[in-house]
Amino acid sequence: MSTSTDMDQPKLSLVIPTYNERGNIIQLIDSIIENTQSISTEIIIVDDSSPDGTSKIVSEYATKFPLVKLHTRERKMGLAGAVFLGSRIASSEYVCVMDADTSHDPKEIPQMFRLAQSGFDLVVGSRFVKGGSLGTQPFFRKMISVATNEVCRRLFKINSKDVLTGYILCRRSVITGMPTHFSEKGFKFLLELLATRKNISVCEWPIVFQKRLDGKSKASIIEVFALSKLCMRLLFHISLKRGG
């Protein structure tokens, strides 16, 4: 990651929502720095007042690397909302969104960035194109992921193979220009983006979903309900637009 002067205009902003990721976040930041040596980059951590002290260790780290920036929200307010906020305060033309639990490998960032610079509005880190996979996830979790993803694709007539991944790189305006923020308190911002911005150019880059380094997955039945609610709101929104 280029850090020649603090005044350099970054070319890429990493937006990373965190909640109780103390055991993962520093290793992730180190890996991002290692893999983005050729790209002037800022790393924006949006932490929802993690009780495990995630924001404290990020704040201490940022004293050594000024391009690591911390924004702390007052309570747990939703991953997608953190993505929207991080994208608004980002200072570069391109943003990359990834999970804080090390499930998304930073080595993919340079190629995803090159694809975006070649003209694609959105590059999706896809688990379902050739070369991508769900990694070592348990078989049952894999089946749920595949089935849920396929239902959402068909429901909204989206051509992209992976509509629920949390790993993307895009022009900042693609996110800041979203017409709705129905997913704000949930997780699946990409589905909302693809369902409401059908005119953008999309490319999928294969990724292998990595095993979480530390802590427990935040996936739960609450996420299933949140996704169902999101789908209903999006369908209603789309039907209103067509009716109008």
Concatenating the DSSP letter of every residue in 91-106 gives -SSEEEE--SSS-S-G
In a domain, 7, yes or no: no
pTM: 0.92
For the chain, what is the domain count?
Answer: 1
Domain containing 81 — which CATH number?
Answer: 3.90.550.10
**pLDDT reading at 242 higher than 60:** yes
pLDDT of residue 3: 44
| 4: pLDDT strictly greater than 70 | no
Averaged pLDDT for residues 108-114:
98
Q: Do you know the residue count of the chain?
A: 244
Taking each helix axis as running N to C, give the angle between helix 221-243 and helix 139-156, from 0 to 180 degrees, rounded to the nearest 10. 10
Give me the DSSP letters along 62-127: HTT-TTEEEEE-SS---HHHHHHHHHHH--SSEEEE--SSS-S-GGGHHHHHHHHHTT-SEEEEES
CA pair distance 169, 121, nearest whole angstrom: 9
Residue 88 pLDDT > 80: yes
For the segment 30-59, the average pLDDT, to the nearest whole number, is 97
Q: What pLDDT score was predicted for residue 99?
A: 96
Question: Collapsing DSSP states into helix, strand and coil, what is residue 37?
Answer: coil
- What residue numbers bound the domain in which 43 lies? 12-243
Question: Domain for residue 145, yes or no?
Answer: yes
Non-local (6+) Cβ contacts of 54 within 8 A are: 18, 19, 20, 21, 22, 25, 47
